[in-house]
Structure 1
């Protein structure tokens, strides 16, 4: 079927109906009528299942399509003569209207209940728009030229009158329920959890969400909208609703009845590099190419706090400060003299980086802004609601983690890992709720899933600097992490243990403690030799961090780390970090001697210089 594009022009932007739609062309009249009957019949057949919201608007639209279907079936069975040209044009436009009606009904059927509730007025407007366009089309359809039977003509004229009289309908029950959701957010914003019976009535009776699995599906759908950011919706409100729904899941339905595997640790893994998320490590993790403009020209890492220098170039704040502190007075990228050392925050770029990271599950923990603007004040109440709801959820999960049976503990660890995936506030409230001690105990679990979730939860918590001290000060936590690195049940658990050591070693005073922990450096060296590409990356970045502390050098020589680093000089993806670590270690005579005895050292370095790399 040949088609010609027709561009929709609804007055509401970012509608599920916005896009390019195609009308059939080069069809005979019988084929056009057959196509219309097929589209209308499919729409009616697919609308048998009830939609979670917009019931009245959906039923009304389907009844209109049923009337059209009667018209098409009459024309298909009893009109062999050609259609009048005006009727043909109207039917082509009607084909598009039917197609858009199907899209809107599918959107309502496939969206989450809460999402439809938040979009209640807008979606009601889309139904009204379609009805108005149907009315306009019927006004110009030449009924008198179609030789319709009295019954069919009466139906079409009835449809015409109904479409003319149609008014925008916003279901008052849905609207009342939407306002109740906002009231729950307001309660959390004031530091109070909603009354459980009232919350249950809204979720179970009002929304039809009656078990943990349905609640989880709602959370996943809403989080997808946050990541996509394709709809016109206040993200602070949406984040608050996600937090509220997550809280409702555990406070109302507990931890039973949800057997989903959840997100595995290998998905959206926390990747790191020197002071930030390594662009190459992210690429290793999932074939994910980081936009070049998001990487600092100095470190080639994802920028955490992009700032603009006097030449107009953008760098990560920590990198350019170190550059200036080393005595340089020129721009690293352009070589131009720096007129001054004042750094201007590149807020636009930081926002783009944050959105990209959220969309791809990459951790991003930007520093707190020093000058909160009016926009932050406006959305503060709902943001506080999200924080308080997540805080209440964290308390429920930590309680489960501490006292529940082993299977429920694994589920609680998984949920804490997911909750800690994004947001400094979440990482703070989880640690404040006392999650680190029970997570540490779960590291020695015989259940591979529980161990993997617990070490990944600790990894995610360690992204926040203040949590690093809590992890290091927890008795036995460091040795348990090393134990997972050495003998973890799964590859993911061992790799995430290595990434945790790297994260913790970002604090200078912890580097010696980590290197002195029995088996830590040996396990990192072993992972660098024999691990997967991701494991090698985790191991080499951790070893590089340790090599920046002179009191770690002896331990690294004794543990065989020098040999592992030399062997990595020929491994793509880790060669540069290995060379950087060796460049520091060679200042220690024993390390220099070990490198001199290794016949691979000179060849590896020469090969690296010949190949070159992103850092030159």
Structure 2
């Protein structure tokens, strides 16, 4: 089912007609300016129409439903653009083509795009669900499930594969929203993705999935595999939660296609027989089974729960009258006969469970038994939801492998969601700091590379939970816990502006100010400061805190290179905000930066240090402090001679800013003998380096001309013409100490730089 299908069909037909005559229009070769413009406008209109059709084809159905009005406007704009451009083209083409254009124009004039009422209604329902999303609690979570399930069903999201396609489309929308920095759109789509992930299992368990059967023939419910709770102690809790909600669950008959069977909810089917239960009983693990099936299981010598592989404390059976009543209610509402006898055979699923238990006994892992065969039948893993018709059915190996991977990924995603909730519960409710540390360490590793996890956790309370953990670690003086918590927050904030904003709003800065009193936590605190300064709002907040003095001190005193590098990058981010510069200067940042430049032969810091200095030089106070700092001009000048090409470019840029309008600084730079290096950069440097070096040389020349009396300038010119080597100018002594080479000979021969001759 494609949303806005009728509109797409209409626009697609028109697009194809216009596209078919476009080569003829190009062949007409309109020579006039208006003709070329008309042809270009038609090409653009075709692209717009194609983009609208592609948007409806690839975009999330849920998002298309809630943005119906916007989509309708896109179609209308595409229609108008095609109509306008065709009218312009009609005036410049031969009559034979003009007749075709007139036909398309009449069709465009008669076209009226309208939203499908059902799709509009579904969109309104989803919008209401989004508005109420934050109000749902555990007590009425089932209402949210029911509303979302109904909406998804109407949109055709009725299979595991359809749900997977929808989730992928939503993820692409999130990436696009983040690239566009559209936070409102990102938050809406993130919540839709959350709902899709949360209820994907429901789609598989309640609705027959023809698409996922790889072309196998649908048959009775007895041959459909269980999809839930495939591992020991894993998802069985989720099953119990669903079971506890069944009392208030509104079983409504689904409107299915003619001939499609009504599949009972999984909670009402025996995990062994996969049929509606006739005599449901509860065993020690809390799971419910058909009595005859579980008795057969026990009589064969098993002492574990078939579903969870849990070792049972006893083998007693307790009748489950609650489930029996729910089965009767469901059968009545769906027109299905209530089971009047137990199943006659256990089918393949019994043997599958038995083999699964054997696998579990040999290995602690939750590996599948998909490679096992029983009497020529491929036995599928417990986690899968593949419909098998009869024993003896064999499928192609490639198809089976594809299905295995597909369903494992589905179950894996659902298991991850459950683990997230468990992590959050431990952080919020647990009292054992050591246990919390283990959870936070897991979160740190998980968040390191998982962008989707950052989005989900940021929207579900993990920021507050991790800050609370860090606060406890700081107050208890636990350095290891502080580092773990800070790095988990760091990973949570990577490439996620909303999470950074939440951290700042929740008070991470005061917490970091307490944390930096512990020298062992400096590295992780610096890294988190760096991450926060990537946010524009963060630059202002961090720049007005104690962090400035702390980061500056790290440059001077911290022996860890990585910590220094993080501090340097954080200070660079802060220096891009002009209002931060006074605080940076008062904290002594220039002396800290100079200490990094002073290391002989170490190019680790040079480029970024000079970049910070350039930012500081954007203010007059920054310029004054830099010029008055002993040795700084000398270090920058030496970089022109011994630095890498990019470092030379930065040094030339910085010196140009400092010397412009400051004759004293220009004299200081000239006394360092920079002329040969500048000439060399102007010839061999980067494109920007050449530009800056030439501007510096021109600046020095203009200053020299201003300072020199006319008589001396005439003597200098005469001296240049006679190629006599002057010896009286004190600059010669400084230059003579440097390598002259080709750069100096170029200086003598070039008329442009005659002012520098000594």
TM-score by length of 2: 0.38
TM-score by length of 1: 0.46
Identify the structure with bigger relative contact order (alpha carbons < 8 Å, sequence gap 6+).
1
The structure with the larger Rg is 2
